[in-house]
Each structure stands twice: as C-alpha cells, then as structure tokens.
Amino acid sequence: MSISKIDQKQVENVKCFKYLGSLLTDDGRCTCEIKSRIAMAKAAFSKKKNLFTSKLDLNLRKKLVKCYIWSIALYGAETWTLRAVDQKHLESFEMWCWRRMEKISWTDYVRNEEVLIRVSEQRNILHEIRKRKANWIGHVLRRNCLLKEAIEGKIDGRIEVTRRRGRRRKKMLDDLGDRRGYCHLKEKALDRIKWRNCFERDCGPVVLTDY
C-alpha cells in the first residue's frame, strides 16, 4: 500500500474497498464483486430455504427466487465487465438456485439440462445482465452528464499503463455486441423504443440488428 495526497491530505491507496455497496478493486475487474454478491445471495437463499423448497406452485417459487435472490446477486450488474470466468461463476450460481429449489443434490448426478427441464427454464441470468446494462447505458447515452463524459474519455486524468501481451482488455460496452463502435451505439440509443427492442428476450444470443 502507498500514500497519495489530495488537497494536501494523505489518502491511503488500498487493493479494494466498498463503495455504495459494491466492492471496488485496484485492477478494475469485477470478479471479486461478483463472488461477493453470489455469496450474499446464497446466504439469503439459505435463510429462506423452507420457502423456496416448499410445495408452493413452481412458477411462484421461481418468481420469488428471481425477485429476492437474483436482486441481491445482480446488484450493480449494469456496470460489470464480464470475462469468461465471471460468466461461468454466474451461470453456476443460476444452476445452484434451481438445484437447491428442487432439492437436487450433486450426488444425484442430474445433468444441468435435466434440471432446466424440470423447472421449465432456460439459462437466463447473463441475458438479464445484458438487458439491465443496455437499459442503463441507453439512459446514460441519451443525457449530457459527467458519467457520459467519463465513458467517452473526456475526463482528464492519469493512469499507469503497462504494456500487456495478448488480446485487448475487454471494456464495459463490449457486452452490448455492436462491433461498429461507440458512435453507432450512441446513435441507436437516441431512440428509446428501438433501443429496448434490441434487448428483448429471445431464444438466441443478444445481438444488435440494423433498422
């Protein structure tokens, strides 16, 4: 840890800290935050386990899980930049919820596909995150605000950059799937209805299409 100064006051640099309920790390990644959120969601599920595993209607129990448990797990998900390892954590958590709800132990050797059939569900948590992110980003791009300037790189600042081998580091807007760049994404966001229609639930992956 090192010490910095702001307005002649010493400020300690730390590896991670919590701000407005989210865990921020010095590397800018979301893995620690996602793991923390999943742990809190699992703890909340355990507290209400009798309710989620009761003989209530299946659809009602699924709604309760998504409303109560997923809301805890996906708090702040609009700002996450998901790597492959993060997506695996989230999909594993999704299956964990359905298995716990149906009292299916890992020793029962029931495949994930069979679990999804039993609960009449598809893998949905990653799509839900993309949809939340799209709604939030669309709202930001339609306004003139400080956050929009930060996304566009108009905020002055300095950051220590080290040259890395391999592919480009994934950015927050990459999850929205428009390869034609930020300007095209910004243009689409101006039409609120069409923007939301891009991310409505369908059977395939989330991909922006031309109009």
pLDDT tens digits, one per residue of 65-110: 999 999 999 998 888 888 889 999 999 999 999 999 999 988 888 9
- Look at the alpha carbons of 195, 89, 47, 77 in this order and tell me if their dihedral is positive or negative: negative
Task: Please give the span between the terminal C-alpha atoms of the chain, in angstroms, as a whole number.
Answer: 51
Bridge-partner residues for 18, per DSSP?
Answer: 23
133 in the same domain as 118: no
> Residues of 185-206 as b/e, b for ≥16 C-beta within 10 angstroms?
bbebbeeeeebeebbeeeeeeb
183 in the same domain as 146: yes
71 in the same domain as 130: no
| pLDDT for 154 beyond 90 | no
64 in the same domain as 132: no
Give the chain's domain count: 2
- Domain assignment present for residue 208? The answer is no
For 105, the domain range is 30-122
Which range has highest mean pLDDT (84-93, 137-146, 162-171)? 84-93
In terms of Cβ atoms closer than 10 Å to its own Cβ (0-12, 13-18, 19+), residue 95 is middle
- Smallest CA-to-CA distance from 141 within 131, 130, 152 is with 152
The answer to whether 141 and 133 are in contact (CB under 8 A) is: no
Question: Residue range 45-62: average pLDDT?
Answer: 94
| pLDDT for 132 beyond 70 | yes
pLDDT of residue 207: 35
- Domain assignment present for residue 163? The answer is no
140 in the same domain as 84: no
pLDDT tens digits, one per residue of 8-53: 777 777 788 787 877 888 777 888 899 999 999 999 999 999 999 9
The answer to whether 61 and 54 are in contact (CB under 8 A) is: yes
118 in the same domain as 147: no
134 in the same domain as 100: no
Question: Mapping DSSP to helix (H, G, I), strand (E, B) and coil, where does residue 22 land?
Answer: strand
